[in-house]
Amino acid sequence: MGFAEDFLWGAATSAAQVEGGFEMDGRSPSIWDVAPKEKIANGENCHDSAMQRTHYQEDVAIMKKMGLKAYRFSISWSRVMPKPHFVSRKGIQYYSDLVDELLKAGIEPLVTLYHWDLPLWAYELDGWESEALVPHFVEYVETVVTALSDRVRYWITFNEPSCFLMNGYMQGVHAPFKRKYLSLPRITRVFMLCNKAAVEAIRNNAILSPKVGLSFAFGVYLPEVKRDKASEEAAYIKSFSKQMGVMNNAWFLKPILEGKKVRAYGIYHTKGKPAVEYQVKFDFIAINVYSAFDYGSYGGNPHIDRSKVKYDAIGNAIDGDSLYYAVKFLYRRYHLPILVSENGMAADKEKVEDGHVHDSYRTDYIKEYLSSLKKAVNEGNEVIGYCHWSLLDNFEWAEGYRTRFGLIYVDWQSKERTIKDSFYEYSKIIAENGRSL
């Protein structure tokens, strides 16, 4: 069976992590641009990062060389709308030029509208804590869709709401670095309203018939006994109803896809409102998958011998079954096409040697996870694409620049690009459509 001939073999980035040029085009700061130095490793910032803003033509040429069929990138709200009700012509022109360059190279643009970088001006209007954000977000979405939808078909409304809401407003480990646990119902409601309004804005304004989804940070619990039906069933149920299965998965999936409310931490996020108010119809579900919940500190499997587990540089356990079961469980529940919008591994101490970066560990990772993905596809689960995280080495949020995720090495001083060995291996997989996996 294998992957479909039109399978979207891709790579992904986000604006705040690779774009740089933080003051170009009249752009105003996002909450990540003003992050306190003590909150980011080594006091670093995202102001320049990989400078894709000025290197986008070079990057697209490299993508074409790789044979990519799709590129997932995000729009910087601050670049398009540096202040309320004002559109930067230069800002929107940059994204139009990027889309043109991708299409000229035969690469499908997959546009994410929000990938964590809330404009500072929107944050100062109370951001995700105020429903006043909704009309501002809708105005932004309409602006982008009107400008690009004559060429863009795939739209992802948000990236990982569980992360930017909970890490940013509850755990205080990501911008805006708040620790306000009681804000959870309120910030969830504002996000849900923005998401539904964004979907409606896309469908009402798009020129090309749109395909709309959302990238969830989706995880699962693995069966404790492999190839055992009862164990697999228990893992499926737990993945939507227990511990992280509730907080990370059901808290967002059930209201959006089922119109049902969820209780966690003793509270309902609907605050008396009907959950059906948040329900939308997606054309696909996008998921970002790195590791299974079993390896986590909260709700993890105590029986795992962690001395035998491989981890990447930021502590994600490497286990291809994480992706296999994520696809299998999600498709079983919702029967919507799945886009793997992120999957990859962090490494440290990578360097260029004789013009090469030898990252055999990343090659092994790609083969392991893609083999698991192919297994899920062969079992009848509909997967429309896979985007490796990341195309380029990037600003990794609070981790700064001390780890590298890219298929392409970036010299942080010169911004010179060097293709890694894993790039060539992924290119081979794309060329033969995964047949040898």
What is the spatial distance between Cα 282 and Cα 280, in angstroms, rounded to a whole number? 6
Quick one: which H or E segment has residue 56?
A: helix 52-66
Length in residues, the chain:
437
Is residue 256 a contact partner of residue 195, using CB atoms and an 8 Å limit? yes
**pLDDT tens track for 47-68:** 999 999 999 999 999 999 999 9
Q: What is the mean pLDDT of residues 218-227?
A: 92
Task: Answer whether 288's CB lies under 8 Å from 341's CB.
Answer: yes
CA angle 213, 219, 224 (to 5 degrees): 145
Mean pLDDT to the nearest integer, 401-421: 98
**What does the alpha-carbon distance between residue 107 and residue 148 come to, in Å, rounded to a whole number?**
15
Residue range 382-391: average pLDDT? 98
Considering the chain, what is the average pLDDT of its residues? 96
* pLDDT attached to residue 83: 98
Which has the closest alpha carbon to 169: 136, 129, 137? Answer: 129
Structure tokens of 104?
């000229």
Which residues are tagged catalytic? 160, 342
pLDDT score of 301? 87
Which helix or strand (DSSP H or E) is residue 109 part of?
strand 108-112
Predicted confidence (pLDDT) at residue 336 exceeds the cutoff of 90: yes
Model confidence band, residue 254 (pLDDT cutoffs 50, 70, 90): very high
Helical (H) or strand (E) element with 11 = strand 8-12
Pick from 50, 29, 132: nearest CA to 406: 50
CB 194 within 8 A of CB 133: yes
Tell me what the mean pLDDT of segment 153-159 comes to: 99
What number of CA atoms fall less than 13 Å from residue 310's CA on the CB side? 12
- Tokens 């569980």 identify what position? 162
Taking residues 319-344, report their average pLDDT.
Answer: 98
Residue with tokens 């440290």: 348
Across the range 251-278, mean pLDDT stands at 81
> Confidence class of residue 1 from pLDDT cuts 50, 70 and 90?
confident
User: Distance (Å, rounded) from C-alpha 299 to C-alpha 233?
Assistant: 18
* Entry pTM: 0.98
The pLDDT > 70 percentage for the chain reads 98
Q: What is the DSSP string of 221-266?
A: PPPSSTT-HHHHHHHHHHHHHSTHIIIIIIHHHIIIII----EETT
Q: Do 291 and 320 meet the contact criterion of CB atoms below 8 Å apart?
A: no
Identity of the residue numbered 251: W
Nearest C-alpha neighbor of 196 from the set 157, 164, 163: 157
pLDDT greater than 70 at residue 270: no
